[in-house]
Structure 1
Amino acid sequence: MPLSGGGIDREHRRVVLAAMVGTTIEWYDFFIYAICAGLVFAGQYFAALGPNALILSFATVGISFVFRPVGAVLAGQLGDRFGRRAMLIATLLLMGVSTVLMGLVPAASSIGVAAPVILVLLRILQGLSAGGEWGGAALLAVEHAPPERRGLYGAFPQIGVPIGLLLANGVLALVSALTTPGQFLAWGWRIPFLLSVVLIVVGLLIRSRVAESPVFEEVRRAGSAPVPLGALFRERGRLVLLGALLFAANSAVGYMTTGGYVQSYAVKSLHLDPAAVLASVMASAAVWLVSTLAGGWLADRWGRVRVYQAGFVLQLIWMVPFFALVDLATIPALVLALMLYAVGLGFTYGPQSALYAEMFPTRVRYRGAAIAYALGSVLGGAFAPTIAEALRTTTGTVYSIGGYLAGMTVIGLLASVFIPDRPGIPLNPPATPARPEAKPFS
């Protein structure tokens, strides 16, 4: 899956690096909150709620998702008018500053109810940032790509998620290993949040050097005005809904680890060592990275929808065995369960950028892709950890969670049947060549 040779120049490589590094930083910031929601925040900020503290702590992970569509609309509107690059810099700054401030919020024992309120407000800002980030990064990579490599190029902003998960779990595991349990809960967990300062600087340096999307520049030179938001839903609302259902199935499954649920369950219910659990998730993130790249690469050969469907079938097959292995309460079983879990997840994530970019014409592409993604995250990942904990508490078994995730996977599989697969379609016919058989947008 090389990015060198074959007419791929330095600017192309710079673009995919900027997309990957930026999303890595964004999701590192996003995930350290989700992981700490299960390991730390219930006791530090929501302890007054007693036995419901953990459920509410997980609910704050989901609250940010409610604001993702707002971020998607705002960034999409501005991105379709002013460009993808400016929005990527703005979303990176918003996410980074919010994360650093989280590391400075005193516990509820110091400032009372103000502590969880401030924490939730900062989480909402993270949600606004995440809603606008993905669409810009995905489109910048895909719109710079040669038509025959859009799947692979589009997979690079996608792997920012497993790399961010790898980095978040790695930093937390290192801090956990270097501190006592009491020190980690008292101040150690704040270190990963404060380290975001360094990542912001790195991300800004990289993204500021990337050229604007050539497809967007062509539209801007032509003087085309962005289509009103209402027209997007009137003309392509069906595709927005199908895209949302497709991602809902992926994100519900993914947020068992990215949302911190598996980590919390393994540590608090199965009494496994926290550092070993975080290391297990890191191993699965590495597999997720490889399978996501493979999914993007295969999408250029098999088509985007076929790779999605293969991933959904793998997800469906693995749901019940996954929880059976986790419940063995050993680290080797947990590692195996998570690594196999990540294969189907990557196949339903790698083709996403290319598929969503080819679903919408240039003048509404940022909004269409970003809103479909954001709505899917609300329907799927937003409250998946909360639903999982409520199901386990109510039924007394984790297999009920497997049933829930299997149901979400079936929804995504059905949605994929109705999505047109148009690899190589001109993203902007005057500027972008495509295969002769590809039909342009009307």
Structure 2
Amino acid sequence: MRAFTASLTGTSLEWYDFAVYSAASALVFGKLFFPSEDPLTGTLLAFSTYAVGYVSRPLGGFVFGRLGDVIGRKRVLVATLVLVGAATFLIGCLPTHAVAGPIAPILLVLLRFAQGVGVGGEWGGAVLLTSEFGNARQRGFWASAAQIGPPAGNLMANGALAALGALLTEDQFLSFGWRIAFLLSGVLVAFGLWIRVRLEETPVFKGMEAVGERPEAPIREVFTTQRRPLAAAVFSRVAPDVLYAMFTVFVLTYATEELGMARSKALGAVLIGSALQIFLIPLAGALSDRLNRRRLYLGAAVAAGVWPFVFFPMANTGSWGLLVLGVIVALVIHSAMYGPQAAFVAEQFTPRLRYTGSSLAYTLAGVIGGAVAPLVFTALLGSFGLWLPLAGYILVTAVLTVIGVLVGRDPDHGEDDSYRRLVEGAGAEPEDRAGAGRP
């Protein structure tokens, strides 16, 4: 349970940092760092910096993913937490375009890049931290700790911005209020580090160390021997990323600029949905341990492709209640994919390549999924002025995820068990892990 707590708190804090930037991109960065006569153009430029945080993730996946398989999970997770927290704190100190001119958005992009590098190395380790301590047959639940981080961080980030928006006037919020949410990162990261540094290395990694099975070139091995697992893991992540970008980020822009709703109401809809996800994600992860994980994932992916065609007509009525309902249903569907996702992705790779493979899958999927999604949504809406292209885009990503889940494999629990026995003192040599323990 200590590993579950360490994974949950650390990932939540890193996603607070990432999410507060995402929300600020939709609400204030267009005005402060990318001033333009056309509000949509300013928002598009702000979302471009949002995308940088995803584009830089593969670098984090390459660097920290490799280190996680070579030097251990714990050390890497401490480094990623410090990197993301420092970048977020510094964003809160940045001068705006009105003060520093073009240098302001340049510095913003650089710090967003650093955020992405840290998050890119965080996810794979956070998943393994809990799943390699917990029972492999309950990996869906244990690994979901890392998955709770995004909605928890999103809840904290949007909650902080909503509270600041309620307490301050519009001018005060644009002047200094938004900075407070970023500067809080320093306190939150210190708390996360206190928890993580006290944790031991995972028993699976200790077992690999005991028999000298740590890889020397894990990135090369993944790309040469794990192509199908990597493709399955990447595609499985695309629709969840795009769905999440729509219903936690772009929905703020759509509700305020297209539907004319107050910013507080738009944030409220996202806050309610994110709060529910904190409970729905571990529930979905646990459910995937009892049912076939891939079938649950497939059903949710199909629902993800269909729901936008229901949501937009509901939201376009202008009813805040229907907007909230639409966001909640979307995030329930997202939870049904996102809860089992960490276990599904980790299970595609053997333990000795698991950090590298999971990190690469996570970050590469982020580039083709979550990174470009707000940009695509904004461009489609600006070009067509209709919701149908937005829904069609989500449908295409759902098809990719269905393909990824279909070509993936079911778990092989024996891979972990053999390493655990070494650490527990049984003295057994690692068994043939090609098929041992396969359900």
TM-score band by shorter chain is: over 0.9
Cα distance in 1, alignment partners of residues 344 and 37 from structure 2: 44
Query: Corresponding residue for 2:78?
Result: 89
Q: Are 2:242 and 1:249 aligned?
A: no
Percent identity between the aligned chains? 36
The match for 2:106 is 117
* SS at structure 2 position matched to 1:46: coil
Q: Counterpart of 1:35?
A: 23
TM-score (norm 2): 0.94
Contact 2:412–2:435 (CA under 8 A) maintained in structure 1: no
Whether the 8 Å CA contact 1:64–1:126 is kept in 2: the answer is yes
The equivalent of 2:426 in structure 1 is: none
1:440 deviation in Å? Answer: 3.5
Deviations for 1:235-268, whole angstroms, at most 9, x for unmatched residues?
A: 002211221111011101111134x211122112
1:218 aligns with 2:218: no
Other-structure match for 1:8: none
TM-score computed with the length of structure 1 as normaliser = 0.93
Query: Aligned to 1:331, which of 301, 304, 320?
Result: 320
Match of 2:375 among 355, 377, 386: 386
Cα distance in 2 between the residues matched to 1:400 and 1:166: 28
Where 1:70 maps in the other structure, the secondary structure is helix
Matched, 1:180 2:169: yes
1:49 Cα deviation after fit:
7.4
Runs of 4+ deviating beyond 3 Å: 48-51
Q: Which residue of structure 1 aligns with residue 138 of structure 2?
A: 149
Structure 2 unaligned spans of 5+: 423-429
Q: Does residue 2 of structure 2 align to residue 14 of structure 1? A: yes
- CA RMSD, Structure 1 to Structure 2 (Å): 2.0
1:429–1:440 Cα contact (<8 Å) kept: no
Mapped to 2, the partners of 1:385 and 1:147 lie a distance apart of 36
**Would you say the 8 A contact 2:297–2:405 is kept in 1?**
yes
Matched residue, 1:72? 61
- State whether residues 37 and 58 of structure 1, in contact with CA within 8 Å, keep that contact through their aligned partners in structure 2: yes
Q: Unaligned 5+ residue runs, structure 1?
A: 1-12
1:341 to 330, 335, 347: 330
Shift of 1:284: 0.6
Q: Is 1:239 equivalent to 2:229 in the alignment? A: yes
Equivalent residues of 1:227, 1:363 under 8 A apart = no
Q: CA deviation at 1:48?
A: 4.6
CA distance in 2, matches of 1:209, 1:180: 42
Distance 1:323 1:152 in 2: 32
Q: Give the number of equivalent residue pairs.
A: 428
* 1:293-318 residue CA offsets vs partner (Å, 9 max, x unmatched): 12101111112211211211221231
In the alignment, the residues of structure 2 paired with residue 356 and residue 270 of structure 1 have an alpha-carbon distance, to the nearest angstrom, of 37
The 5 A counterparts of 1:291-302 are: 291-302=280-291
The whole-number CA distance in structure 1 between the counterparts of 2:433 and 2:287 is 20
- Whole-angstrom CA distance in 2 between matches of 1:130 and 1:358: 21
Contact 1:166 1:286 (8 Å CA) reproduced = yes
Contact 2:20/2:158 (<8 A) preserved: yes
Return the letter of the residue paired with 1:154: A
Structure 2 SS opposite 1:79: helix
- 3-state DSSP class of the match of 2:338? coil
List per-residue Cα deviations over 1:321-380 (Å, max 9, x = no partner).
111122222221111010011111001111122122221112211000110011111111
> Displacement of 1:182 after TM fit?
1.3
User: 1:291–1:342: 8 Å Cα contact kept in structure 2?
Assistant: no
Label 1:242 to 1:438 Cα distance change in 2 as closer, same or farther (>3 A).
closer
| Distance in 2 of aligned mates of 1:60 and 1:49 | 19
Measured after TM superposition, the shift of residue 80 of structure 1 is 0.7
Report the Cα distance in structure 1 between the residues aligned to 2:262 and 2:215, rounded to whole angstroms. Answer: 53
SS of corresponding position for 2:295: helix
Relative to structure 1, the CA distance from residue 289 to residue 310 in structure 2 (aligned partners, 3 Å threshold; closer, same or farther) is farther
Q: CA deviation at 1:432?
A: 5.3
| Partner Cα separation in structure 2 for residue 183 and residue 355 of structure 1 | 45
Matched-pair contact (CA < 8 Å) for 1:311–1:343: no
Indicate how the Cα distance of structure 1 residues 437 and 204 shifts in structure 2: closer, same or farther if over 3 A, else same: closer
Contact 1:426/1:432 (<8 A) preserved: no
1:131 aligns with 2:131: no
Whether 1:47 and 2:47 are equivalent positions in the alignment is no
Structure 1 Cα separation of the partners of residues 112 and 253 of structure 2? 19
> Is structure 2 residue 435 aligned with structure 1 residue 439?
yes
